[in-house]
């Protein structure tokens, strides 16, 4: 019973981790940024990015911690 609940939480944390990584704003423009004016460089909200970083790191720790617990067989 506990193992199946932890498995569901592990899968949910994996999906939420994917979504939180996809929500991050791109850090660079790549080769396309060479020709642009650079006016959109300072439009991101720093506090929103910091909050998203904390959420992403928390989900990562939960995902990896549950992966270790489930794969080690510590829960039956």
What mean pLDDT comes out for the span 43-69? 90
How many structural domains are present in the chain? 1
- In this prediction, residue 27 carries a pLDDT of 75
Q: List pLDDT tens digits, range 20-53.
A: 999 988 876 666 655 555 555 445 578 888 899 9
Is residue 53 one of the residues assigned to a domain? Answer: yes
Q: Which tens digit of pLDDT belongs to each residue from 6-22? A: 999 999 999 999 999 99
Asked if residue 2 belongs to a domain, the reply is no
Range of the domain at 60: 11-18+47-71
Per-residue pLDDT at 30 = 61
d(CA 37, CA 35): 7
Query: Is 29 domain-assigned?
Result: no
Burial class (CB in 10 A: 0-12, 13-18, 19+), 14: middle
Residue 44's pLDDT is 56
Does residue 60 lie in a domain region? Answer: yes
Q: 59 in a domain, yes or no? A: yes
**Cβ–Cβ < 8 Å for 13, 59:** yes
């Amino acid at each position: 019973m506990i193992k199946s609940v932890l498995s569901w939480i592990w899968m949910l944390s994996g999906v939420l981790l994917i979504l939180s990584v996809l929500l991050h704003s791109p850090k660079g423009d790549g080769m396309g940024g060479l020709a642009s004016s650079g006016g959109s460089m300072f439009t991101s909200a720093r506090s929103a990015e910091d909050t998203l970083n904390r959420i992403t790191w928390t989900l990562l720790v939960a995902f990896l911690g549950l992966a270790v617990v489930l794969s080690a067989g510590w829960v039956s």
